[in-house]
């Protein structure tokens, strides 16, 4: 959240474009890593194990 607020302030007021580029790069990196982790988790959950199909009774 800090980087998004900082980027928003710089975009409104103008200023240090180096900090703006750094903030945007960090936000993009965070987004890409989050989407990568999401894809891994979804891909792993799509595989069914036998215990998922036939849970133990009792």
Q: How many CB atoms lie within 10 A of CB 7?
A: 19
Q: Where are the domains of the chain?
A: 2-46
Which residues in the chain show pLDDT less than 50? none
pTM of the model: 0.69
What is the pLDDT, as a whole number, of residue 58?
63
- Say if CB 26 and CB 49 are below 8 A apart: no
Residue 46's pLDDT is what? 78
């Amino acid at each position: 959240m800090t980087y998004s607020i900082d980027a928003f302030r710089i975009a409104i007021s103008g200023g240090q474009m180096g900090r703006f580029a750094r903030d945007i790069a960090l936000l993009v990196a965070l987004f890409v890593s989050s989407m990568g982790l999401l894809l891994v988790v979804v891909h792993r959950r799509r595989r069914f194990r036998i215990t998922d199909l036939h849970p133990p009774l009792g």
